[in-house]
Chains A and B, each alone.
Chain A
């Protein structure tokens, strides 16, 4: 590994707009285009900072809990780690392939069956076609959906979708896993299974970030907790 750290945040700030349209009119856009450099730290009407000056480091193989009330910036933080959005200022360094499980099965297409969606989801999580082929049986078995694998996903229950999505993710070759509230879903049996898998992931020196409102549940298995409140890390 190039660095000891899987994730490094350095004075990261992220600004969002509250209005439905991020833009006003075309004319406004052109005006702000020229002002962008100067207006980075200024808040316009309807704008707010979802994250204010966040710095932290996460080592490879760590399991970190992300805790905080609604609107504290947890999801924003996960999206920044997943490289889906860019920080307004500050810098972020990520070392390793990321598997975001923010809302499992986001990549599922309703008209395709379970088997086809495994390919799709696996590829999105950075697996090669060869890897998916090799792990196909394992993925299907783990999900427990052998009888429904040729059924279009639109006919799946939300629990079935969750199991399939989780199963693909757990078999991916990612180094950093992001879980958003997903541990609260699924029946007892599957929950236990997923806890065991998570322990397994950690054994392989993978990094895990788990988001939860439930502090008790979280502290059971994480090494450390990042407590966010109103976009600032609390101690």
Chain B
């Protein structure tokens, strides 16, 4: 499977690079502060969370400093939700291209994800700076962030491909997406911790791949704990299997996109 994805995409690597470059260009055109937005956006969100959930609603975050707690949840959530939201419309927005010329259609979606991944990396750097200022020690556990981010990317790609494709056939997806993402947000431990949830809801929460990722982001970064290996292995395996299935279906369906889009 891996080699076939590689073979399929390698001859389009220049197009992929230019699509990413184009996404970045478009994003900061006609802005005055440009790339500074990549820093301002996540920080302002975190401040809002501290204000609303920390100070007004006073939701329990345990021993963890509130800004760190919210930010470590917001960073993965923002990457996934922003990627999915823009991927849903990505294919239909490129109708002009899709009906004129062939290239692997997933490049459109992957280039969107790549740009949000750049944001994600900037946010991770901000997160590390905050951790440093809170005098929390870095250890080998911190390195778990890399495989955890990998699971995050795989899941983001799977959901983006799936919903982007569905939207080609049924525009209902675009209309439902706002509700869907908001619902998903409440089902993700961004502003609360799963430890405060009763056991019967906890199991439901772990059906959400983001629950595992965010909880472990906090474990390895803030609490200096290691991950639970069998859980990690399970999450990784399930994520990869889903990705392969969805990608396979995508490559089958993409041949008929121009007929329906």
Contact = CB atoms under 8 A, between A and B. Distances in A.
Interface in B225-261: 255-256, 258-260
A79 B25 CA distance: 30
Given A22-B260, A119-B18, A112 B169 contact: no
B252 to A, nearest CB: 11
A84 B101 contact: yes
B258 A124 contact: no
Contacts of A126: 15
A112 B18 CA distance: 13
Interface residues of A, number: 31
B98 A84 contact: yes
Nearest to A78: B100
A106 B100 contact: yes
Nearest to A124: B101
A112 B98 CA distance: 19
A84 to B, nearest CB: 5
B22 interface: yes
B140 interface: no
Contacts of B256: 85-86
A123 interface: yes
B100 A103 contact: yes
Contacts of B30: 111
Pick the 8 closest A-B CB pairs, nearest first: A83-B102, A123-B18, A123-B15, A106-B100, A84-B258, A22-B260, A128-B14, A106-B96
Contact of B22 (A16, A26, A112): A112
Contacts of B255: 86
Contact of B100 (A22, A82, A128, A152): A82
Contact of A100 (B22, B98, B100): B100
Interface of B: 14-15, 17-19, 21-22, 25-26, 29-30, 96-103, 169-170, 255-256, 258-260
A102 interface: yes
A79 B99 contact: yes
A152 B25 CA distance: 12
A79 B258 contact: yes
Given A119-B18, A124-B15, A112 B100 contact: no
9 contacts: A22-B169, A22-B260, A23-B260, A86-B256, A106-B97, A109-B26, A111-B26, A116-B22, A123-B19
A147 B139 CA distance: 56
B18 A129 contact: yes
A98 B260 CA distance: 23
A107 B14 contact: no
A120 interface: yes
Contacts of B19: 120, 123
Contacts of B260: 22-23
A220 B115 CA distance: 49
A129 B99 CA distance: 24
